Every structure is written in structure tokens, then in C-alpha cells.
Amino acid sequence: MKGRVRRTLGAFPHLGEVVLLIVLCSWYLLNLRGAMNVGEVLYAQYGYSAVTGDPYVNPTHMIAPTAKYFIGVGQLVFGEGTFGARLPVVLFGLATVHVTYRLGVLLADRLVGLLAGALLGATYFFATRSVLAILDVPLTFFFVGGIYALLCFGRTGETRWVVWTGLAIGGVLTSKAYGFIYALPIVLGVLWFLWQDFGGQQRFRQAKYFVGSAVAFVAVVYLPYYVVAHPPVERDFGELIKQFLGLPESVGAFVQLVFNIPIVGNVAYVVGATLGHNLKHVGGGHAIEVGSTVYREPPIWTYVYWLTTEVGLFYLLSLIVTLGGGVLGLRNDGQRDRAFLAWVVVLPLLFVSLLTVKFPRYILPLVPVLAVTGIYYAADMSSRLRDLNSWSISRPDIDRVVMLSVVALLLIVPPSPVANSAVSPINTDTGYDEVARFIEEYQAQHEDETIVVISYHGTTLDYYLQDDIEIVAFTPKDPQGNAARYSSYRERIESGEVAFVVDLRQNRRLQGTPFYRYVRSNGDVRMMFTQSPDRKRLVVFGFE
């Protein structure tokens, strides 16, 4: 029997990975249901718009359209909405698990690769993001793919791997606006490998292939910007540049001229819009909960906290051993891979920690790398213990010990990265489609009235509602600085103009405002929906 199993595994060496991907694919596809959140709605709209003739949308990530193209194509094939927008991201999530498996095989063996892939796919933080229409999962795929390709290049010196690395860098740079943060350590790794492994003309030749493939990827992705003219530029750039950069107005006049140059002007518009929007966004910060506190500019340790609480303690331990292994790798010849893996983790983590705007998903690209390195170092430690104690144990038995140790660590040490995957849904359902149905039923019974709804995340509700219902969004950038606006909302409610206010039952970002207290003191709860997966309650307050 054992011999038959060995022969089967020998004929199909990657059978375990195939089974893993089939299981994960089935699980993910069963969790695509539910109303999208505000970020998904925006990316779904922008993606569909980009592939149907208007690429100049979403100024935050206009410079990075790759992931949006896939989200848009998914909706072209399967129709606008949740399934079509989320399905492409599921495929990127599965592809990321595959590359993680390959990375583990490259560093150690198939068992390490399989454990790393299974750990990543079952990690609640990764699984819940892999069924969302967001840009972070495609970014993660390109990032891990670039790491894998570069390590293959470092081991073989084959040109095809430096080309794949360049293509991956193109994907990283064009998936999200902050993609350059994750591209930088790989680019520096390429320079390091070229300097150590090649000389003279050979070094230049390989660098040319790397740069050429990256530029080619970006050039192809930007094709819509070459053929579709950018919207009119109505703002006075001379005044803006003088105000924000302290440069002469003549510089702004030159920029205006550049916008009128065919193709070049379109690309300049894309870069300028993205840069301007993000500088303003980063400068103002963004309200986010860290633990039980709401920050506009979260502290620098936020991502270490989230790595422990949101992702899992195993990943924090993996970060520590990865950094330690990297330091030792720099000191020992033949351990360049370990130093590089530490480099590609610590540099992006440092940069995103310095940003004023922070979200847990910003460290998603690091999760697959830490899944691999954590198990890789656990296997390495077991091998060293065996050699140190001269145990008379075969290698397969040691592998089983490693596997059991890792599983025990995941299950016993809280917060576990996979525990929630076993007991909680991974699908996101904000309930805004149910709220929209409730409001539309009310409208059908009051056809002679103009229905006005004030809503937190008005963009999401508007996506699911009919066009003839007025939506007033009250998501603020500074809740304490909008007294006049909230006063006008209250006046509209008291005059009988507003029928409903839609908000979370407990909204920490707004709970310090008078409007928040007024709604809860005077509104009647007409409907309540428990959101998934965070269990927050979305409430419709009625005023009649």
C-alpha cells in the first residue's frame, strides 16, 4: 500500500497542491455572495468604466489600472455586480497561493510549499480579502511572483527569470498607487544580484531585459490612455503649484502646455491627478480604528499591532525569525536568499508604517512571504535539532514533526490566523442591497413623495438604489469640523424632507458629533442588518 502511494506521488509530484487549490477554489466561490462594501463599489464602477471607454476614473489609483481592468472584464463577462467584480480577485488569490507553494518548494521542498500554501489560503485575513473586489490581492500576486522569479534568477542566471521579474514589477507598479513601495525592494534585489553574479556586458544585458520587460508591461497597460483624451483641465495649475509647492506660476503654465500634447498630455494628466489626490489624502490622514481608539493618523506601530491581532501571532513570530535569518544571511556566504527575504519584508513594512493613512490590507502582500518563511524556518530549526542531537530519525519523520508543530502552533497560540476561518464566514455582506430594497418598497407605497435618504457610505447605498431617490452622503473627513453641515441635515429632517438615515448602530468615527446623537434620540429603528464578517449592525432610522 505504501509503495503504491509513493508511486502515485512520484507520478504526480504536485498532486497535493492541485487538491489544495481545488478545495480553496470551492470555498472561495461559495463565499462571493453579499452586498459589496464602499471600496468594492468604487473599484467595480471604476473597473467597468475603464473597460467600456472611460479610463480616467478613480484619481486615487488612476496611475495603476491593471487590477481594475480585470475587475471590469469580470463584469463584462458575468454582468455588473458582485459576482463579476469579485471573481477575478478570487483567481488572483488562488494564483497567489500557487506562487507561495512554488516559493516554498524553491526554498526547501514540496512539504514546506504545501504547508505554506495551505496556511496562506486558510488564513482568515487573506481568505476574506480574496473574495473582495479590491486591488490589494492582484498587487500581492505580482509582488510574490516577482520575489519568486528573482530568486529563480539568482539560482539559475537564466534570462527568462529576469524577464519575469520585470513583468512582475510592472504589475506591482500598476496595481495600486502605492505599488512603488513594494516594487522598490525587488528592484534593489535585482541590482544586488546583478552586481554579485554578473560583470561587464553581461550585467548590462540582463539589466536591459529587466527594464525592458517592466517598461513593456506598463506601456501595454497604459494603452487606453494613448487613445482616449483626458477630461478638460479646468483648474489653474500655476496658482496650485505656487500654493502647495512654492514654485513660480510659470511652472504651472508649462504643466498646462504639457497637458495639451497628444499621448504625453494624457499620461501627465494621469500622473498629476494621482499625485495631487494622494498628497491631499495622505496630508489629511484617514479616520481608522486601532484597537478601541479612532485615529486620524495612526501611530507607527499600528501594522505590528495588526499583524498580531488581524493576521495572527504566527505571522508576527515569522516576521521576527525572518529578520533574524536575514541578519545571519548577510554574515554568511551562500545565504543570500534569506537576507533578500528579510529585505523584501522589512522595507515595505517600514515605508507603509510611515504613511499617515493606514489600513490593514496595506500589508497583505507581506502575508504570503511570511507564511513561507515561518514554515521554512520551522523546518530548518527541526533539521538543526536533529543534527545536533544525532537522532536516528528518518527525514520523513522529521517532516511530520514539523507539520504537527506548525499546526499545533496555529491552533493553540492565539490569536490564531486560521481559527476564524473554521467558525466564521469569509464573505463580505454589508447589507446595503437589503436596505435599498426596504427603501424602494417604501417608495412604492409613497409614489407622490420625493424620497430623501441621508446615508453613511452613501456611495454604496446609491449603487443599489434606483436613480430617482436622493442620497445625501455624510461620511466626513473630520467629524468634529462639520457642524454647519450636520446642522443643515438636522433642519432637513425636522422639516419632514428626509425620510431615513442609514448608519451603523455603533459608528465610532461619528459618535462624538451632535448629529450622531440626534439621529439615535429621535429616529425610529425601521430595519437592522447584521453585516458579515465583522458583525456590525447597519440600521435604517425613520423620521415621520
* Grid cell of 303 as nine digits: 501594522
Measured distance CA(310)–CA(305) in Å, rounded = 8
Measured distance CA(529)–CA(110) in Å, rounded = 45
Q: What is the pLDDT of residue 304?
A: 93
Whether the predicted pLDDT of 5 surpasses 50: no
Q: What is the pLDDT of residue 355?
A: 86
| pLDDT tens profile 352-394 | 999 888 899 999 999 999 999 999 988 877 666 656 555 555 5
* Grid cell of 411 as nine digits: 491552533
Provide mean pLDDT across the span 215-239: 84
* Grid cell of 523 as nine digits: 429616529
Torsion from C-alpha of 142, 145, 150, 152, nearest 10 degrees: -160
Measured distance CA(312)–CA(516) in Å, rounded = 34
Residue 61 per-residue DSSP state: G
Measured distance CA(507)–CA(89) in Å, rounded = 29
Q: What is the pLDDT of residue 486?
A: 81
| pLDDT tens profile 257-275 | 888 888 888 888 888 888 7
Cα–Cα nearest to 363, from 371, 379, 373, 352: 352
Measured distance CA(70)–CA(456) in Å, rounded = 28
| pLDDT tens profile 429-450 | 999 999 999 999 999 888 888 8
> Which DSSP string do the residues of 369-425 spell out, in sequence order?
HHHHHHHHHHHHHHHHHHHHHT----HHHHHHHHHHHHHHHHHHSSSPSSHHHHHS-
Q: What is the pLDDT of residue 254?
A: 76
| pLDDT tens profile 303-335 | 999 999 999 999 999 999 999 988 877 667 668
Provide mean pLDDT across the span 111-132: 95
Task: Classify burial at 275, counting beta carbons within 10 Å of its beta carbon; exposed 0-12, middle 13-18, buried 19 or more.
Answer: middle
* Grid cell of 94 as nine digits: 488562488
| Highest mean pLDDT (candidates 401-405, 416-420, 464-468) | 416-420
Angle formed by the axes of helices 38-51 and 66-78, to 10°? 80
Q: What is the pLDDT of residue 389?
A: 56
Residue 235 pLDDT grade (very low, low, confident, very high; cuts 50, 70, 90): low
Measured distance CA(358)–CA(296) in Å, rounded = 9
Contact 462, 439 (CB under 8 A): no
Task: Classify burial at 293, counting beta carbons within 10 Å of its beta carbon; exposed 0-12, middle 13-18, buried 19 or more.
Answer: exposed
| pLDDT tens profile 454-481 | 998 888 999 999 778 889 887 655 544 5
Contact 430, 531 (CB under 8 A): yes
Cα–Cα nearest to 40, from 100, 94, 102, 83: 83
| pLDDT tens profile 54-83 | 998 878 888 999 999 999 999 999 999 999
Q: Which domains does the chain have, with CATH numbers?
A: 13-226+287-423 (no CATH), 229-284 (no CATH), 432-542 (3.40.190)
Cα–Cα nearest to 436, from 456, 472, 462: 462
Measured distance CA(213)–CA(485) in Å, rounded = 51
**Which pTM does this prediction carry?**
0.91
* Grid cell of 115 as nine digits: 504547508
Choose between 507 and 502: higher pLDDT: 502
| pLDDT tens profile 138-187 | 999 999 999 999 999 999 999 999 999 999 999 999 999 999 999 999 99
